[in-house]
Structure 1
Amino acid sequence: MIAWISIGITLLLVVLLARPTGMYVYSAFSAEGTKLDRFFGPIERVIYRLSGIRPENQTWKTYAAAVVISNGLMMLLVYTVFRTQAYLPLNPSGIANMEPRLAFNTAVSFMANTNLQHYSGESGLSYLSQMIAIVFMMFASPATLLGVVMAFMRALSGKPMGNFFVDLTRSITRIFLPIAIVSALIFVALGVPQTLESTTVAQTLQGEEQSIARGPMASFLAIKELGNNGGGFMGVNSAHPFENPGAISNLLQMILMLLVTTSLPFVYGKMVGNPKQGRVLFVSMAMLFIVMLGTSLTAENAGNPALNALGVDQQQGSMEGKETRFGVTQTALYSVVTTASETGAVNGMHDSLTPIGGMVPLVNMMLNTVFGGVGAGFMNVLLYALVAVFLSGLMVGRTPEFLGKKLEGKEMMLIALTLLIHPILILVPSAIAVFAYPETISNPGFHGLTQVMYEFTSSAANNGSGFEGLGDNTPFWNISTGLVMYFGRYLSVITLLAVGGSLAAKKAVPETIGTFRTDSALFGVVFLGTVLIVGALTFFPSLVLGPIAEQLTLKP
């Protein structure tokens, strides 16, 4: 009963915080003067002056180029740090330089907001690499996509797209940095370490010596969750007691994961001048979330039927790969939250989830619309909203209109291309991996296929969690997932900015009695139907061959 009450408290807090956070985010990016300018304005003007930034409006092409080029330079910078960390300061444990292909994968991973880790956090990076490379990207990456989604919203509402460097700066100074500082202090109070001391050695009760890694974890943890990054300071991520000491820290982590991403529908409603538009999308995504959560909780609490037939308690049978301080229910909730928000942090091993319990995180990432990560998730939501409007227009024989702009061939070709990118990046490399590199797959049969699909889905969706046990620190996996993460992030950014730029250039048409309203419950139903038909059915055959087939083979 306590576990179910804690779920209710978590979801209630998320819902209560969503709209106020949305209003704050809107004010942070408002072109009109706000009270926030009085405090942050002088700081930002200094940054603009030192960086040579001219806060002028950009076209979609200039905005997209700024995103790709600046992020590319950041990747090169942190790659250099990874490759030379053995010669740099703040390396008390003497960690060696990172291997080139692994350094490439890690640099792309954290810049793409994926945080896929083919290394163990505490033994793969020095403190300097963790702080000035990893944490730097944990701020820059979500700030990039938060800026992009703001530009996309402005374009859809007929406003100038804005300036990427201004949006990037405001994302960090007004959103991520203040909240992360407060959150880090709370985590320190809850017992998360924040130190530059090296690994310590403790005497066990058996008289053996045990090396205990530590470091500046609290500051790392705050932006890890708030920015939907998810990478762990420790190899086992938030399953480690240093990164997640107990129930309160677990609750705070889930709230931080959903804080910004659940606020974006309300930002959108305010931006387009119709709050009901945002509420419809928020409720639609919340319904998807509840369905996913209910499915996961049912599957995990039912346990393994084969073990149940042997008389093993259901709860005990489901505890494989889960921390006793969280239990089955909180682990299932965390797995849904971390993949619905495209964060990737874990407080248990997803490889040990039941077949259906493991399918839910996989489907969350395949859809990439169950709230989704900071910026990228809501851009996918708006993508499906545009598809829903287009399909509705075809059904009634009218030219589809969205926010007073006609959707025509150019926009739909770009949208179709965006829809194709995601499944291609998942299914094609998965087939190659299963055919050419079976020795890296640690699980047999259907579960092995799920393990491979999960890795590429996590990469394409910029999530970063994995079915651990995969032999992924190899040239094939480092290069292939690195490329999937890069293209999964930046191709969709470019195409959707192009859609926004095309719509922004069009003249608004007056609303008529035949205009399909996008602020109604009917549109919410059509939107959900579009997500399930277009999104879910794309991946249904692969799910049948993986987790669904595995579930059917579990015999009592």
Structure 2
Amino acid sequence: MLQLALTILIYLIIVIPVGRYMYHIAAEKHTLGDPVFDRVDGVIYRLGGVNPHKGMNWKQYALALVGTNGVMVAIGYLILRIQSLPFFNPNGIGNMEPTLAFNTIISFMTNTNLQHYSGESGLSYLSQMLVIIFMMFVSAASGYAACIAFIRGLAGKSTENVGNFFVDLVRITTRILIPFSLVGGLLLVWQGVPQNFEGNVVVKTLEGTFQVIAMGPIAALEIIKHLGTNGGGFLGANSTTPLENPTILSNLIELYSMMLLPGACVITFGKMVRDRRHKDDDDDDDGKGGVSGGVMHSSRADSQRGPRLGEHSLTASIYGREGRSIFAAMGIIFLVGLSVCYWAELQGNPALANIGLSQSMGSMEGKEVRFGIAQSAMFTTTTTSFTTGTVNNMHDTLTPLGGMIPLLHMMLNVVFGGKGVGLMNMIMYAILAVFICGLMVGRTPEYLGKKIEGREMKLTALCIIIHPFLILAFSALAVATDAGRAGITNPGFHGLSQVLYEYASSAANNGSGFEGLADNSYFWNITAGLAMFFGRYLSIVIQLAIAGSLMKKRFVNESAGTLRTSTFSFAVILVFVVYIFAALTFFPALALGPIAEHLTLWG
């Protein structure tokens, strides 16, 4: 318990300054690296024909994001199909099969990194660099760019401009992902993670047998895998192997790397909301919009415009705390999940106790002794809460309730999430929460000083429903067809858990798996690819549409009946709304999977 508490405490200390730095990047404020980064960015803008001063509305932004990603999908697919060429291919890896190439390129472009192949035997070094590592940077930057545009829409004063996608993509890559990756990559090399272009090495073991040791640019992939909440491993066994994760220090570096930017996004959200609202209040105080032709507006117009003169400091402070309530709600759900997962793994397997084996160490099946149960539970909960997908233990061997936590957190997809997705999804639930509370008191709901009306609620409901629909619909298709059932290697309750996990991981753009599933087939490659695609882009487009709708509305004054969304009590309300929605949508499936397996095992 102490090491878990210290791990979380250190994270809280480092995430705050990173959140402030990310805010400066998003708001285009001055940073120490600007003299260098401005020149680098300028060259990229000229080569790409980008006008950095031209803004976009939400439709243009969404189209630029989807279109850019689409072009990269086509190029990446081509590389995977011709990777057998003798160029950066010392191990003679052959071309990737068409449906597997489709699944792989969709997986990495959507930041999912679901792998139906083993990296050491399925990819050439050229593919690892030009497809896998490159996509890890671009997909993460695309997600964070969408999140920043979404925040601008919610908190911004402009009625159209949510920023420029290409500018956001470049700035996030050059000022956040690349510098952080360089530092983190060197730390991993220091801890023993390989970084070279040599072919695989064959060694003679102490037992007298021969073993193939993978080589290659592992450290370069490893750091952006976590920093960009990607998760796809250079090796099939991912971060359970000493080559990707050799020590407890490398484990902490990877752990903090995947937690850092999603948490920082929430802090950035709070600061941008405060900053934009403060600017709006200052404009009102200066008389902009408050005087027309030398005549002061009526009190009714004044109430529509926003806070009155002298109220801006208090209002800015209130809105600056919006990020804290969201962070608190995410933190509560994370801690609940971590506690359950850790407790469940400590209980061990009663089947072993029945035959006289000690369970004092808990369930160590599928876990590395250098990490133990505590850090395995921490890594498991983190990778599925921050939607990274990397693993330092085999999730398929978790106890039923221990395995239910990562499954549930992917189903929720709001616990910090990866590349800003968790924040965007949690705000959908925040809008739903203020709508429900507004119905209780008979008021039009408000969020961030904007009225939530029919259009926003329809889009919010659609966005929330898409995720469970993808998971449950594809799972039903899998268990109802011969092609789907052919991949299920575990009969009974655990087999259903494997199916649910596969599609929850795909729809949440997570990428981890129960790995007992025989998923490299036409059926699983195509259906999982579709779940990843729709889970990524439908949500982003709808969320940008909501932001575009809200940014056109005028700020309204708070009143006695306004629900304060910057308080801890709202964070608790938000947690209950999330759990109630999860119970209504996913409990029947969970009851037939991990819960039934747990009751059978302990019965």
Q: Which structure's CA Rg is the greater one?
A: 2
Number of the residue aligned with 2:507: 460
Q: Does 1:501 align with 2:548?
A: yes
Of 503-512 and 444-453, the range deviating more from structure 2: 503-512
Q: Is the 8 A contact 2:346 2:361 kept in 1?
A: no
CA distance in 1 between counterparts of 2:435 and 2:602 reads: 45
Number of the residue aligned with 2:153: 155
Query: By how many angstroms is 1:325 displaced?
Result: 1.6
Q: Deviations over 1:444-484 (max 9, x none)?
A: 10000000000000000000000012110000000000000
Q: Does 1:83 align with 2:81?
A: yes
Number of the residue aligned with 1:136: 134
Q: Is the 8 A contact 1:228 1:373 kept in 2?
A: yes
After TM superposition, list the pairs within 5 Å mapping 1:508-523 onto structure 2. 508-523=555-570
CA distance in 2 between counterparts of 1:202 and 1:32 reads: 53
Number of the residue aligned with 2:489: 442
Query: By how many angstroms is 1:28 displaced?
Result: 1.0
After TM superposition, list the pairs within 5 Å mapping 1:2-401 onto structure 2. 4-55=1-52, 56-159=54-157, 160-273=161-274, 274-315=319-360, 318-401=363-446
Which amino acid letter does the alignment assign opposite residue 198 of structure 2? E
Q: Is the 8 A contact 1:297 1:329 kept in 2?
A: yes
Which amino acid letter does the alignment assign opposite residue 455 of structure 1? E
Which amino acid letter does the alignment assign opposite residue 425 of structure 1? L
Query: By how many angstroms is 1:342 displaced?
Result: 0.3
Which amino acid letter does the alignment assign opposite residue 223 of structure 1? I
Which amino acid letter does the alignment assign opposite residue 548 of structure 1? I
**Gap change, CA 1:235 and 1:492, over 3 Å in 2:** same
Q: Is the 8 A contact 2:494 2:593 kept in 1?
A: yes
Q: Is the 8 A contact 1:269 1:279 kept in 2?
A: yes
Query: By how many angstroms is 1:522 displaced?
Result: 2.0
After TM superposition, list the pairs within 5 Å mapping 1:475-554 onto structure 2. 475-554=522-601
CA distance in 1 between counterparts of 2:25 and 2:599 reads: 50
Which amino acid letter does the alignment assign opposite residue 247 of structure 1? I
Q: Is the 8 A contact 1:105 1:482 kept in 2?
A: yes
What RMSD, in angstroms, separates the aligned Cα atoms of the two structures?
1.2
Paired residue secondary structure (2:211): strand
Q: Deviations over 1:358-394 (max 9, x none)?
A: 0000011011111111211111011111111111111
Number of the residue aligned with 1:405: 450
CA distance in 2 between counterparts of 1:535 and 1:175 reads: 34
Which amino acid letter does the alignment assign opposite residue 343 of structure 1? T
CA distance in 1 between counterparts of 2:77 and 2:569 reads: 49
Which amino acid letter does the alignment assign opposite residue 432 of structure 1? L
**Gap change, CA 1:205 and 1:32, over 3 Å in 2:** closer
Paired residue secondary structure (1:211): strand
Query: By how many angstroms is 1:33 displaced?
Result: 4.4
CA distance in 1 between counterparts of 2:599 and 2:166 reads: 51
Q: Deviations over 1:188-216 (max 9, x none)?
A: 00000001000111112233322211111
Q: Deviations over 1:309-354 (max 9, x none)?
A: 3322225561111112212222111100110110000011100000
Q: Deviations over 1:50-85 (max 9, x none)?
A: 110112110110000011110011111111110001
**Gap change, CA 1:35 and 1:540, over 3 Å in 2:** same
Of 309-318 and 395-404, the range deviating more from structure 2: 309-318
Paired residue secondary structure (1:201): strand
Query: By how many angstroms is 1:36 displaced?
Result: 4.2
Q: Deviations over 1:152-172 (max 9, x none)?
A: 101101243101001101110
Q: Is the 8 A contact 2:433 2:573 kept in 1?
A: yes
CA distance in 1 between counterparts of 2:485 and 2:43 reads: 54
CA distance in 2 between counterparts of 1:293 and 1:207 reads: 42
CA distance in 1 between counterparts of 2:186 and 2:254 reads: 13
CA distance in 2 between counterparts of 1:491 and 1:161 reads: 18
Q: Does 1:426 align with 2:427?
A: no
Query: By how many angstroms is 1:537 displaced?
Result: 2.7
CA distance in 2 between counterparts of 1:433 and 1:527 reads: 33
CA distance in 2 between counterparts of 1:200 and 1:109 reads: 29
Which amino acid letter does the alignment assign opposite residue 38 of structure 2? G
CA distance in 1 between counterparts of 2:14 and 2:375 reads: 21
CA distance in 2 between counterparts of 1:8 and 1:176 reads: 28
CA distance in 1 between counterparts of 2:100 and 2:359 reads: 40
CA distance in 1 between counterparts of 2:429 and 2:356 reads: 46
Number of the residue aligned with 2:279: none
Q: Is the 8 A contact 1:454 1:466 kept in 2?
A: yes
CA distance in 2 between counterparts of 1:134 and 1:488 reads: 20
Query: By how many angstroms is 1:37 displaced?
Result: 2.8
Of 417-426 and 530-539, the range deviating more from structure 2: 530-539
**Gap change, CA 1:491 and 1:166, over 3 Å in 2:** same
CA distance in 1 between counterparts of 2:229 and 2:439 reads: 37
Of 533-542 and 282-291, the range deviating more from structure 2: 533-542
Which amino acid letter does the alignment assign opposite residue 438 of structure 2? G
Aligned length: 553
Which amino acid letter does the alignment assign opposite residue 374 of structure 2? T
Paired residue secondary structure (2:202): strand
TM-score normalised according to structure 1 size: 0.98
Q: Is the 8 A contact 2:86 2:92 kept in 1?
A: no
Q: Is the 8 A contact 1:340 1:368 kept in 2?
A: yes
CA distance in 2 between counterparts of 1:14 and 1:206 reads: 42
Q: Is the 8 A contact 2:91 2:200 kept in 1?
A: yes
Q: Deviations over 1:21-46 (max 9, x none)?
A: 11000001114444443331111111
Number of the residue aligned with 2:297: none
Identity of aligned residues (%): 53
Of 413-422 and 158-167, the range deviating more from structure 2: 158-167
TM-score normalised according to structure 2 size: 0.90
Task: Give unpaired runs (5+ residues) of structure 2.
Answer: 275-318
